[in-house]
Amino acid sequence: MGFWLSWKTHINTRTQFHLLRNEKKLSKELQEAINNIKVLEGMLPMCSVCKKVRDENGEWHDVADYIRNHTDAVCSHGICPECGRKLYPEIYSQPVQ
């Protein structure tokens, strides 16, 4: 009976050790994930004409600058075909070769 109780205590202690070690690992991974999260939430006040964004201090900023300063995203600029045809008709009216 003594051997069985000793063995049972050993197994319980070992199980608790593994559970605690796993909990610490998961806690560390969760903290790393939380540290890497940077999210825009809620309403984003934006000018309907120039598309600048108003910050919490009432100042207006270029949308790309605002996104760069408030998230980990990086904006990449290009030109869509519709705007290309409006702004550069001599280039965008030619068929693609």
Q: What are the boundaries of each domain within the chain?
A: 1-37, 40-97
d(CA 93, CA 84): 9
Provide the greatest CA pair distance for the chain.
94
pTM of the model: 0.46
3-27 as b/e, with b when 16 or more CB fall inside 10 Å?
eeeeeeeeeeeeeeeeeeeeeeeee
Confidence (pLDDT) at 52 = 94
- Chain segment 34-85, per-residue pLDDT in tens: 777 766 677 889 999 999 999 889 999 999 998 888 888 888 889 998 999 9
d(CA 8, CA 66): 60
Residue 97 has pLDDT above 60, yes or no: no
d(CA 52, CA 71): 16
